[in-house]
Amino acid sequence: MTPSNQHSVLFHLMDQPAPLKPDLKCEADRFLPVEHDCAFCGKTSFNMKACTRCWWAKYCGQTCQQNHWNHHKRECRADAQRNSFYKGGRIVEMAMLPSDDHLDPSVDENALSPGTDSFEAYINEDAIFLDLDKCPKNGYNDHADFIAVKEFSIKNLPAEIRLACVADYILAESKTTVRVLVKWTSKNRPDQDSCARFRGTRNTRTASGKYVLDNPHDIQTKDCPIPLCHRKRDLGPNHKIYEGDLKIFTNKHVLYDEDELNRTVVDFFYDSHDRKGVAREYATKLFYTKPSSDKTFLKVTIHDADLLQKLEQIDTNKCQCFQKLPPSVLRRMSAFAIVISHPHGLPKKVSIGRVVKVTEENLTDETIANAKSAADLERIWFVSRREEDYRNFMAGLGKFNLPVYKVWYDTPTCQGSSGAPVIFGARQCNGIWGPYMAFHSAYDVDSKLNYFKVVRFMD
């Protein structure tokens, strides 16, 4: 082939759109769902295809790519950093754990054999550490911005809130943080969902959450509903569980529906790699879900009365620590966003950053009126503390179309931080101060900020 013919062929190849592939840059990103806009039609989805020459332009498919090519070819260039962090989009920070081939029953003496369709065999978490240096977001600094709860102290706090009472409160709140593991992706997830490409498959993903114990004295016993419960070995085949007003809060995109609920477990007190003191329980019931604010909560089994008593003591201690915070300190804390999470599904970490801005969404006359009604229901429950009033309040949240605050912050987060509790100062209701607790939702690559959404009440 003559040089001129070679030049013609190369020119022809560069004048054609590059093949499209799913926007997965490297193995470490195998479960970092990213939401992008189509460069041609503007449709937003978690399942866009990327131009494989520049890895910048995202499209619904070949039709949109062909229609956009005359414009895109002027800016399409091979990207030398194609395996770098995602460009643009919104990252939903769940982490994919090793496949079932890595299940290691030796970690738990009560574990069933590998290959069972259950969580009784603990995951070999040593395998997770192998991928940490490949993490596209925090691997460059070895995740140094995350502080293990076992090592957290007053010296880790910013100067404005460097007080023993603040450190005590953060550590008390950290005990309520849980790790959520979901071993199934529902077939009901819509096409634009962050996990749509995993529908109907067994892919264990991990995220974070928080337990709330509203009424510790309303406890009932019932037969354990879990067919393959690993506690059958020490409690017997027909053992009981304790069921009370214990809720696990996390994100809607973490746990989508009842189909996924049946393959979900929650780890309490996963604070160190040796797993000392970890209690694993099964999800049993899905309650309130609010897609607009990306929130959901569920109930779990409790097999041991001692665990229930421990959770109650932790909840009491947390409230006592909060009450020691003066209002002036709470106001200063509202400038910070303190995240307690399980990055990469690993033992619990604390990360601290600042609130950068607060924006509003869905603000109309209708939603403002609904917000006032929701605030009235909250006041009734806040005073009475009755379960019936709480249910009315939560039912109202599920029914009302409400305005939403979007709080942006620069706190370090990573895969596995979705659903993590975010300590964000406090607010007053009926003259009583209460903690302002939200849950980490996603990371926006363009602004390099995290955000959470919380419904807005109008007094």
328, burial (CB in 10 Å: exposed 0-12, middle 13-18, buried 19+): exposed
3-state class of 62 per DSSP?
helix
The pLDDT of residue 454? 72
412, burial (CB in 10 Å: exposed 0-12, middle 13-18, buried 19+): buried
Least confident interval from 52-61, 144-153, 250-259, 391-400: 391-400
Report pLDDT digits (tens) over 221-264. 888 888 778 788 788 888 888 877 788 999 888 898 888 988 89
CA pair distance 265, 94, nearest whole angstrom: 15
Average pLDDT value for residue range 336-348: 92
Between 314 and 200, the more confident residue is 314
For the chain, how far is it from start to end, CA to CA, in angstroms?
A: 78
| Residue 453 binned pLDDT confidence (cut-offs 50, 70, 90) | confident
Q: Is the pLDDT of residue 103 over 50?
A: no
The amino acid sitting at 45 is S
Q: Is the pLDDT of residue 429 over 60?
A: no
CA pair distance 156, 372, nearest whole angstrom: 39
3 state SS for the chain: CCHHHHHHHHHHHHCCCCCEEECCCCHHHCCCCEEEECCCCCCEECCCEEECCCCCCEECCHHHHHHHHHHHCCCCCCCCCCCCCCCCCEEECCEECCCHHHECHHHCCCCCCCCCCCCCCCECCHHHHCCHHHCCCCHHHCCCCCEECCCCCHHHCCHHHCCHHHHHHHHHHHCCEEEEEECCCCCCCCCCCCCHHHCCCCCCEEEEEEEEEEEEEEEEEEECCCCCCCCHHHHCCCCEEEEEEEEEEEECCCCCCHHHHCCEEEEECCCCCCCCCCEEEEEEEEEEEECCCCEEEEEECECCHHHHHHHHHHHHHHHHHHHCCCHHHHHHHCCEEEEEECHHHCCCEEEEEEEEEEEEECCCHHHHHHHHHHHHHHHHHHHHCCHHHHHHHHHHHHHCCCCEEEEEECCCCCCCCCCCEEEEEEEEECCEEEEEEEECCEEECCCCEEEEEEECCCC
The pLDDT of residue 98? 52
Report pLDDT digits (tens) over 181-196. 888 889 998 888 878 8
| Residue 203 binned pLDDT confidence (cut-offs 50, 70, 90) | confident
The residue assigned the tokens 């477990």 is: 265
| Residue 456 binned pLDDT confidence (cut-offs 50, 70, 90) | low
Average pLDDT value for residue range 103-131: 38
% of the chain surpassing 70 pLDDT: 71
Average pLDDT value over all residues in the chain: 76
The pair of structure tokens assigned to 440 is 């980490």
The pLDDT of residue 180? 93
The pLDDT of residue 131? 58
| Residue 289 binned pLDDT confidence (cut-offs 50, 70, 90) | low
